[in-house]
Amino acid sequence: MLITIDHVLAKTEVRQLRQELDAASWQPGAATAGTLAQAVKHNEQLADGSELAVRLGQQILRRLAATPLFISAALPRTIYPPKFNRYQGGGSYGAHVDSALMFLPGSQEQMRTDLSATLFLAEPEEYDGGVLEVEGPFGVQEVKLPAGDMVLYPSSSLHRVTPVTRGARVASFFWMQSLVQDEAERTLLFDLDQSVQQFTPLLAPDDMRLVQLTGVYHNLLRRWGRP
């Protein structure tokens, strides 16, 4: 399931992040890539653990916590601290699958990557190319969103970023371990939760149809969730 989430960041927040990121020092992205990814990763990244990366990442996490659609779709247990990258001058990232397990920064705790996210920080008209292509059961889906919008997709998906031939593509990216590991179960819960949200303003809070539907959601989450 690939989901786009609009307005994770307001335009004013995007401008503030971009002012700081555009003035930052960037390092070659291949330095943080795995053995196979080094050959296909051609971009720049903000240094992991830098004061700027940590501060802006925490700002994004606060906004995600206040975004109901993200919570509904991801059911996050653990979120890897957001990272930042930039593609320009022909930069690209060839086809790859994200690592299944990652150590959380500064600890020996591992997390499983169930979902990957890209939060766009440059408007589509600022650059040519830079399309995120995600392969799924129905073919390749192309994603190039307005600044402040985010895409969420399974980390198991083969994906790539096409070469940026003009301007710069700036984004934040990160991974999540979900409370519900199975993608099909997570998708069913998301669809059910969205139905509950649509019926809620139409029915009284004590309407048994709404009560029962909500009960089904929580009982399925109780069955499938793994805190």
Binding residues: 96, 98, 159, 169
Which 8-state DSSP code applies to residue 206? T
Q: Which residues are annotated as a binding site for Fe cation?
A: 96, 98, 159
Q: Which residues are annotated as a binding site for 2-oxoglutarate?
A: 169
Distance CA 53, CA 29 (A): 14
| CB-based contacts of 212, cutoff 8 Å, min separation 6 | none
Kindly list the distances between the CA atom of residue 18 and the CA atoms of 14, 54, 168, in Å, as whole numbers in the listed order: 6, 15, 11
Kindly list the distances between the CA atom of residue 97 and the CA atoms of 87, 115, 160, 212, 213, in Å, as whole numbers in the listed order: 19, 11, 9, 39, 36
Neighbours of 89 (CB within 10 A): 13
The dihedral through the CA atoms of 192, 198, 200, 202 has a sign that is negative
